[in-house]
Amino acid sequence: MTLRIYDTSARSVRDFIPIESGQVGIYLCGATVQAPPHVGHIRSGVAFDVIRRWLTASGYNVTFVRNVTDIDDKIIHNAGHDDVPYWVVAFKNERAFTAAYEALGCLAPTAEPRATGHIPEMIDMMQEIIDAGHGYAQNGDVYFDVRSDSTYGSLSGQKIDDMLAANDAVAQGKRDPRDFAMWKAAKPDEPHWDTPWGPGRPGWHIECSAMARKYLGMSFDIHGGGIDLIFPHHENEIAQSKAAGDGFANYWMHNAWVTTAGEKMSKSLGNSLLVSEVLTRIEPLHLRYYLAGSHYRSMLEFSDAAVQEAGVGFERIRGFITRAMESLGISEVEIDSHARAAKFDAEMNDDFGVPNAIAVIHEVVRDANSKMASGDSDAVQTALVSVVSMLEVLGMNPLDAHWKQESAGNQEVIAQLVQVAIDQRAEARARKDFEAADSIRDELDRIGIALEDTKEGVRFSIRAPQSKDAN
C-alpha cells in the first residue's frame, strides 16, 4: 500500500515518495514560548507525533526536528512586564511545552533547536540571499524583496498585489510595503546579536529556514505546522530558502485549529485552556485520544464534555483489553505489526486517516467481545494482539509503561467508587430490596457504567453515558 499525503502546496493528495529511500526528514514548526501551551498549541504536537509513528511503523527511519522560537516581540514584551531577562520567560515556557508533550505521550524530537542558538547560520543565509539579489539591508534591518521572487504567494495561493501592505513601510525604508523582515535592528534595552549590518535580532521566518537546512539539509521531505502558519510564515520560509538555493520541503502538511465556541483557540480571544489545567480534570490518554481522533486537517471544537465522551469511547477499548487479558490469564501482550487489521493500515496510508483507523479498532473490539462471550479464546487472543498493536502505532497503547503510570491512580479511584456502588447493590439484593438494587444498576448504567453478573462476581465496563433527556 502506498502512503498518500495531502500536500498544501499542490492542493491535492499525492503519493509519498521520500528523497532518500527508507529515510524521512520532517521539520515541524514548534512553539513560540512566550506563554504556557493551551490545547490548541498541543494539537499540532499530537498530530505530527502520530504521523511520525506511522512513518516509523511503515519502515522509515525518521528524523524529526521541532524548533523552539525563544526570541520574538511577545517574549520581549512579557519579559519586560515581569522585569526579567527574555530567556527566563522563554525557558520557563519551553519547559511547560515539554511537559505537555510528554504528558500526552509525544515522542521526543530527534532535534529541538532554539532560534538563539543558530544566529551564525541565519547570518550566513541572509548574506546568500542578499548576494543572490533577493534581499537588502536598510538602517540595520534586513528585508526580503518579495517582487524579486516570481513564485512568491504560491503556497497560500495569493498574488503580491492582493496582499496587505505594511502601514509603516516608508518609515522602515522598505522597497515595497510587502517586503518582510529577516533581521530587525536593535532597539534600546532589547537583546541583540552583532551582524555585518549592525546589532539586532532575528525576524520570525529566517530562523526556520536556517535551522531546517542545518538539521535536514538543503532539501527534505515534509514541513509541517498549523494552518495559521501557511501565510506569512511558511510562505516566507519558502521564499528565503529558495532564494538561498535550497530545494527546501517536498511536501507541506498543515493541521487545523482547535476552536472554542467556533473561534480559534488563542490567548488574544481569552478562551485558551492551558494543558496543565485541563489535565487536572481529564486523563492525559483521553485527551490524546480526543485530539488525534479527528482528522488532522479537520477543525476540532473543544469542550470538557466532548473530551469526556471521547474518553468513554476509549474506555470501551481499554475495557476489552483488560477483560481479554483476564480471560486468557496473561499479564503482557506482544506487539506484532502483522496482526494489525489490513483496513487499519489502509486508512492510515490514506493521508493518516486516524478517525477511520480508530473505527476499525472498535469494529475489532465489538467482534471480539462476542467471541469472548462464546468462549472462543483463540479469536480473543488474535483480536487482543491486533487491537494493542494498532493502538501502539497511534501512541495510545494503555499497556505502555507511560500510560500505565499516568492512569493507574485514576483507574484505581474509579474502580473503588464503582465497587462501593456494587457492594450497596449486593446488600440491597441480600435483603430482597430488588427495587433499590435495580435503581443502583440503572443509575450506573445512565452515567456509562455497565454491570455484568458473572460466576466470578460482578464486573463493570465503561461505555457512552445515556442522555440526560433519556426516557
- What local confidence, expressed as pLDDT, does residue 451 receive? 86
Instruction: For 76-129, write each residue's pLDDT tens digit.
Output: 999 999 999 999 999 999 999 999 999 999 999 999 999 999 999 999 999 999
Give the Cα separation of 140 and 184 in Å (integer).
Answer: 7
- What local confidence, expressed as pLDDT, does residue 368 receive? 97
% of the chain at pLDDT higher than 70: 94
Nearest alpha-carbon partner for 255 in 296, 292, 293: 296
Name which residue leads in pLDDT, 270 or 359: 359
Instruction: For 205-233, write each residue's pLDDT tens digit.
Output: 999 999 999 999 999 999 999 999 999 99
Q: How many CB atoms lie within 10 A of CB 106?
A: 22
Average pLDDT of 1-10?
A: 96
What's the chain's Rg over C-alpha atoms? 26
- What local confidence, expressed as pLDDT, does residue 466 receive? 56
Per-residue pLDDT band for 328 (boundaries 50, 70, 90) equals very high
- Cα distances from 42 to residues 47, 291, 384, in angstroms, run 9, 9, 30
Q: Which of 145-159, 312-326, 365-379, 455-469 has the least mean pLDDT?
A: 455-469
Per-residue pLDDT band for 3 (boundaries 50, 70, 90) equals very high
Cell digits of residue 441: 444498576
Cis peptide bond prior to 232, omega within 30° of 0: yes
- What local confidence, expressed as pLDDT, does residue 411 receive? 61
Name which residue leads in pLDDT, 160 or 459: 160
- What local confidence, expressed as pLDDT, does residue 351 receive? 98
Give the Cα separation of 275 and 271 in Å (integer).
Answer: 13
Q: Backbone dihedral region of 57: left (phi > 0), alpha (psi from -120 to 50 degrees) or beta?
A: alpha
Non-local (6+) Cβ contacts of 105 within 8 A are: 49, 284, 285, 288, 395, 396, 400, 402, 403
> Is residue 271 pLDDT above 60, yes or no?
no
- What local confidence, expressed as pLDDT, does residue 337 receive? 96
Q: Which of 180-184, 360-364, 447-451 has the least mean pLDDT?
A: 447-451
- What local confidence, expressed as pLDDT, does residue 4 receive? 98
Instruction: For 385-438, write each residue's pLDDT tens digit.
Output: 999 999 999 999 999 999 987 655 556 667 777 888 898 998 999 999 999 889
> Is residue 363 pLDDT above 50, yes or no?
yes
- What local confidence, expressed as pLDDT, does residue 126 receive? 98
Instruction: For 423-471, write each residue's pLDDT tens digit.
Output: 899 899 999 999 988 998 888 888 778 888 877 688 787 654 554 444 4
Which domains are assigned to the chain? 4-293 (3.40.50.620), 303-399 (1.20.120), 405-471 (no CATH)
Q: Which residues is 183 bridged to in the sheet?
A: 142, 202
**Cα three-residue angle 224-288-65, rounded to 5 degrees:** 30
> Is residue 318 pLDDT above 50, yes or no?
yes
- What local confidence, expressed as pLDDT, does residue 261 receive? 74
- What local confidence, expressed as pLDDT, does residue 270 receive? 57
Give the Cα separation of 97 and 115 in Å (integer).
Answer: 16
Instruction: For 36-74, write each residue's pLDDT tens digit.
Output: 999 999 999 999 999 999 999 999 999 999 999 999 999
Mean pLDDT of the chain: 92
- What local confidence, expressed as pLDDT, does residue 457 receive? 82
- What local confidence, expressed as pLDDT, does residue 343 receive? 98
Give the Cα separation of 216 and 66 in Å (integer).
Answer: 11
% of the chain at pLDDT higher than 90: 81
Nearest alpha-carbon partner for 28 in 240, 222, 287, 232: 222
- What local confidence, expressed as pLDDT, does residue 311 receive? 95
Residue labelled with grid coordinates 543572490: 132
Name which residue leads in pLDDT, 194 or 260: 194
For residues 178 and 162, is the Cβ–Cβ distance under 8 A?
Answer: no
- What local confidence, expressed as pLDDT, does residue 269 receive? 57
